[in-house]
Amino acid sequence: MVMRVVFVVVSLFTLVMAFMVVSHPTLFSSALYLVATFLGVAGLYVLLEADFLAVVQVMIYVGAVSILIIFAIMLSRGMMGKRTSSHNRQAKWVALASLLLAILLLYFITVLMRWPAVQAGPVPAGAIQMLGQDLVGRYVVPFEVASVLLLVALVGAIVLAREREI
Amino acid sequence: MNLLDPQTIAPWFIKVVGSLGLSAFWTQLIWDVIGSVSLVLFAIVSILFIVWLERKFAARVQDRLGPNRVGPYGLLQTIADTIKLLTKEDITPATADRVSYNIAPILAVFSVFMVMVVIPFAKGVSGADLNVGVLYITAVSSLGIMAALMAGWSSDNKYALIGGFRVVAQLLSYEVPMVMAMVSVVLVSGSMSLQKIVGAQAGGRWFFWVMPAVFLLYLTTALAENERTPFDLLEADSEIVAGYHIEYGGIKFAWFFLTFFLNTLFLASFAATFFLGGWRGPFAEQVPILGFVYYFLKTTLVIFFMMWVRATWPRLRIDQMMSFAWKVLVPTSLVLVMITAIILKLGLSPFWETGLLLISNLAVILVVLGFLGRALRLGIERPKRRVVA
Amino acid sequence: MTITMPSVSLMPYLPEIILLVTALLVLLVDTVWGDKRWLVWLAFLGTLVSGVAVWWLAQGPTLQLQDMLTADAYALFIDMVVLIVAAISLLLAYDWLIEHNEQQGEYVALLLFATVGMMTMGAAINVVTIFVALEILSLSLYILTGFARERLTSGEAALKYFLLGAFASAFFLYGAALLYGSSGHLDLIGIGQNLGTGGLMAGAGVALLLVGFSFKVALAPFHMWTPDVYQGAPTSVSAFMSVGAKAAGFAAFLRFFQVALAGSYAQWGPALAALAVLTMTWGNLAALRQESLKRLLAYSSIAHAGYALVGLAAGNSLGSSGLLFYLLAYAFMNLGAFGVAIMLEKPGSGDVMMSSLRGTSRQHPLLAATMAVFMFSLAGVPPLAGFFGKLYVFGAAVEANMAWLAIVGVINSALSAYYYLRVTVLMYMRDEEAGEEEVAVSKPPVLVFALVVALFFVVIVGLWPSVWMQMAQQAALIFG
């Protein structure tokens, strides 16, 4: 019972924050709401007893991704504090379409779909060790290749941002 | 209850309160609340002391007397200052973004208090012995950066904004080598749980002896993460007045002030936990209450070191600071992690493993210092060359 | 606590690893070596060694790495195509790089990284691997597109490509998530076995994945980025991505549909056929009125994606092998066409206008003849490589009882002949006014060599298609 209340509260928090991200007129505030959304998602992970994922979520999304986003916003001049409308003239229709889509999706997800009921067992002890072993075992190729991806991004960022030698 | 063994307090309490007829849920809840409140109180009281200590210490270094009016040796000076701060008028700049402006100090303090949870004070005594402890520390401390950014932006002040920029640039840059230093520790101890890390330093095999280079790396980054000299560019008075919290006054400023010293405390206690054996010491296993004493002694030692550096060193220039992080610390930390991993992979006997780690760490220190010395000499010569050309 | 490290043999990944090491070496050598020309040759050597590794893997039994990667005949065929593309692209870029005189090491390294991504896509048998490989490929290409930093169009193209590409990646990822939700598996075989009748979620997942793939290989209506990007990017990069990314994209595309969705051909076959018709018609119609050679080639590449898709829509083994053959043939002729464009390009402009082609044949008869061969091949004139590519995929459509699709394809080929011939005619036209004007052409030896190689293969593949077709058939055998 308590868990259910907590779940509802955390989910509502996440949803409201997510809504604020797209609706707030100030770009910087949107980014801050994004942080709150990420924290809400981390809370959901905690409720699912995925502590490790929750911590990683906070570390990567709050600690790295959001800060980079905010930094980018701060560095692009003209964005600071300026109230830029995030809507154009079609806002009404988009809102209507999103609402319809949301209702449709809810209908599909809750009524039409036959979700197989999975009995959630307790989280096995040493789940992190298993995760680590999978990363260097079964998923070794995507895991290692992802580091190549990061290297590419690193080289690319330097290529694009480096001052031109004249 | 055995007073010498703090581990027995919790079961005793639960038994006593449980006998009053409360359900297990409420008993646990009351115990948790008592635990959290005492943790927070402990931190705040230590801060009062640390602030006094720092002022006194800096005064001695600079041949002054330091606070000496309020109370014996000026001991109550901090309390007086706190009362002054708390009773000051609460000001919010008219153009500030109210929500972020007010949330920022709370978030700042919140993030450091959350770190407290995993500190092992004595054998079996810590708020929560998370098995992802080290990861948790890194994750939560990144919230602090967020708070500084929010404060810098929402104040609507140029100096505050520049301070915010510097926070991100500096803290993110130094977080990389710091996490790498922690990774080395985690590799050697084989766990991310802080209690197990302390456990792995049994028998005087403190990681300070095993990995002095990693320890130095951690201390350096800790100084930077704590925004202390020589890395105190975030609040360099002569450049940006006070940095991201320039617009804050009264109680809100007190929060940031508290955050700063809490950070000192925690970074020092992690240094003690990771490298100086945490609560370990003679008879700490048999008489667990001694663990508190050892823990405090070691933490205070590290804090003293940090104060010493602060009182005696000049400040770095911002480009020097950034290139020091990316060109010296990050490569060094990567090399150290690789060396550690390779040595552990060799599967040697503990004696040889420790010895090899120590030798390689000393070698890394020598090499890095050699390179640094060469770079410094070249750096001094460079302007001359330019003049000739 | 002891942690046992799982033992993994990375042997099936050997060709990619060789290229990766080469790329890292290039980055390293770049910092210490003054003469940047050697970087290109080092990378070229890397592609050759990697090619040897591919050949060596082809001799032994099929190796597989967990349920992530495989080095079967199909993957090796794609490796071969991609390596050839990378090697020729390096040669095409050689002189531009030397002249451009900026960040050569990064260019070469990124090109190699992109190649690794392409090869991994061909070898991937797991959605996770496909995605990571796709991202490596895309990221490298975004950056390569913006490499000519002195031109604004290059930056614009890179930004456009990046924004749209990020959307496409998101679609792909969402589709993968839905597929995982409905089948409980991420490896293609597992998805194929557990998808069952599919249902709504699986259908949505496949549709989203299709969007992701369509973007990468530039199928209409997800092709909007293509003309701008090909025009804005440095021409050597356009050459590389127009064939390399297409080959890699189709490789994963084909494997995914043939392995994971083999059971539901009845659903996706007609959909892909419709997509193919739309793509080739759109591409050809838009190409008719282009005044820039690079834009024309961009629209032509969209049309060719449509032809190639016919092979996939046919769904039979001739279709699969035909598609593979098509990718190979297309690689040579399109690289060649872009190579000629590099020669005709005015320094700094980054593009070739159709009007400036006039009278090329008078001053540079050999160059004009070479371009004519590539154009004829692209149009599908026998006995060049392009003709047999079309023959096989349209044949597959007929075999799959989709004669109408083949007819649409033939009509489209006739339509495309107009603009390909227009290029040729312009080059051979004796315009009295423009004819005397000097046509600026640079003919550096390395570029000439690359063109000769492309020309040689266009003719060889056209004259002896059976050799290559056998290899393609061998590769397509894995679909059973």
pLDDT in tens, A41-50: 999 988 887 8
Q: Kindly provide the b/e burial profile for residues B54-72, where b requires at least 16 CB atoms within 10 angstroms of the residue's own CB.
A: bbbbbbeeeeeebbeeeee
B98-B104-B109-B115 Cα dihedral, nearest 10 degrees? 140
Between chains, do C200 and A113 touch, taking CB under 8 Å as contact?
Answer: yes
Q: CB of B128 within 8 A of CB of B167? A: no
Between chains, do B138 and A35 touch, taking CB under 8 Å as contact?
Answer: no
Q: Which of B168, B170, B194 to mutate to test the interface with A (most CBs of A within 10 A)?
A: B168
Helix (H, G, I), strand (E, B) or coil at B125: strand
How many CB atoms are located within 10 Å of the residue C45 CB? Answer: 14
C126 touches A at CB < 8 Å = yes
Q: Which residue has the higher pLDDT, C477 or A91?
A: C477
Angle, CA C103 vertex, CA C99 and CA C109 arms, to 5°? 110
Q: Which two three-digit tokens encode residue B8?
A: 């027995």
Mean pLDDT of chain B, nearest integer: 81
Between chains, do A32 and B150 touch, taking CB under 8 Å as contact?
Answer: yes
Task: Name the percent of chain B in helix, strand, coil, to the closest 5.
Answer: 75, 0, 25
Judge whether residue A89 has pLDDT over 80: no
Between chains, do A108 and C200 touch, taking CB under 8 Å as contact?
Answer: yes
Structural domain includes residue A51: yes
Q: Which residues contact C226 (CB under 8 A, 6 or more apart)?
A: C218, C298, C299, C301, C302
Judge whether residue C263 has pLDDT over 70: yes
Q: Which residue has the higher pLDDT, C280 or B235?
A: C280
Q: CB of B118 within 8 A of CB of B65? A: no
Q: Which two three-digit tokens encode residue C209?
A: 């994945």
Judge whether residue B389 has pLDDT over 50: no
ipTM, interface predicted TM-score of the complex: 0.87
Tell me what pLDDT residue C173 has: 92
Q: CB of C357 within 8 A of CB of C430? A: no
Chains in contact with chain B (at least 3 beta-carbon pairs closer than 8 A) = A, C
Q: Which residues contact B298 (CB under 8 A, 6 or more apart)?
A: B272, B276, B277, B278
Residue of B nearest to A66 (CA): B146
Structural domain includes residue A54: yes
Tell me what pLDDT residue C88 has: 92
Tell me what pLDDT residue B388 has: 39
Distances (CA, A) of C312 to B204, C256, C323, C345: 68, 11, 7, 36
Nearest to B213 by CA among B339, B100, B39, B34: B339
pTM over 0.80: yes
Q: Per the structure, how many domains does chain A have?
A: 2
Residue range of the domain that includes A142: 125-166
Structural domain includes residue A108: no
Tell me what pLDDT residue C306 has: 92
Judge whether residue A85 has pLDDT over 70: no
Whether residue A17 sits in one domain with residue A73: yes
Q: Is residue C305 exposed (0-12), middle (13-18) or buried (19+ Cβ within 10 Å)?
A: buried
Least confident piece of the model among A6-10, A138-142, B377-381: B377-381
Structural domain includes residue A118: no
Task: Please identify among residues 172-191 of chain B the ones whose CB lies closer than 8 Å to any CB of chain C.
Answer: 190-191
Q: Which residue has the higher pLDDT, C109 or B42?
A: C109
Q: Transcribe B242-286 into DSSP letters.
A: TGGGTT--HHHHHHHHHHHHHHHHHHHHHHHHHHS-TT--TTTTT
B358-B364-B365-B367 Cα dihedral, nearest 10 degrees? 140
Least confident piece of the model among A144-158, B375-389, C241-255, C276-290: B375-389
Mean pLDDT of all residues in C70-92? 91
Tell me what pLDDT residue B387 has: 41
E strand intervals along C56-108: 64-65, 69-70
Binning pLDDT at 50, 70 and 90, where does residue B6 land?
low
Domain ranges for chain C: 12-479
Binning pLDDT at 50, 70 and 90, where does residue B237 land?
low
Peptide bond into C383 cis (omega under 30): yes
Q: Which two three-digit tokens encode residue B72?
A: 């014996």
Whether residue A132 sits in one domain with residue A79: no
Mean pLDDT of all residues in C221-239? 90
Judge whether residue A26 has pLDDT over 80: no
Mean pLDDT of all residues in B211-225? 88
Mean pLDDT of chain C, nearest integer: 87
Tell me what pLDDT residue C20 has: 93
What span, in angstroms and rounded, lies between the C-alpha atoms of C2 and B191? 11
Structural domain includes residue A74: yes
Distance from the first to the final alpha carbon of chain C = 47
Amino acid B275 reads F
Judge whether residue C188 has pLDDT over 60: yes
Tell me what pLDDT residue B88 has: 84
What span, in angstroms and rounded, lies between the C-alpha atoms of B176 and B181? 9
Q: Is residue C234 exposed (0-12), middle (13-18) or buried (19+ Cβ within 10 Å)?
A: buried
Judge whether residue C14 has pLDDT over 70: yes
User: Could you give the percent of chain C with pLDDT greater than 90?
Assistant: 39
**Chain B contact set for C3 (CB, 8 A):** 190
Judge whether residue B386 has pLDDT over 60: no
Between chains, do A139 and C8 touch, taking CB under 8 Å as contact?
Answer: no
Judge whether residue C48 has pLDDT over 90: yes
Least confident piece of the model among C189-203, C217-231, C385-399: C189-203
Helix (H, G, I), strand (E, B) or coil at C126: strand
Nearest to C259 by CA among C320, C188, C318, C184: C188
Judge whether residue C185 has pLDDT over 60: yes
Q: What is the pLDDT of residues C131-155, one digit of tens each?
A: 999 999 999 999 999 888 888 888 8
B15-B19-B25-B26 Cα dihedral, nearest 10 degrees? -110
Least confident piece of the model among A106-110, B255-259, B306-310, C80-84: A106-110
To the nearest whole Å, the CA of C85 is away from the closest chain B CA by: 36
**Chain B contact set for C7 (CB, 8 A):** none
Q: CB of C179 within 8 A of CB of C196? A: no
Between chains, do A129 and C200 touch, taking CB under 8 Å as contact?
Answer: no
What span, in angstroms and rounded, lies between the C-alpha atoms of B310 and B314? 8
Question: What DSSP state is assigned to residue C70?
Answer: E
Mean pLDDT of all residues in A62-69? 84
Amino acid C148 reads A
Chains in contact with chain C (at least 3 beta-carbon pairs closer than 8 A) = A, B
| Residue C441, H or E segment | none
Binning pLDDT at 50, 70 and 90, where does residue B385 land?
very low
User: Could you give the percent of chain B with pLDDT greater than 90?
Assistant: 1
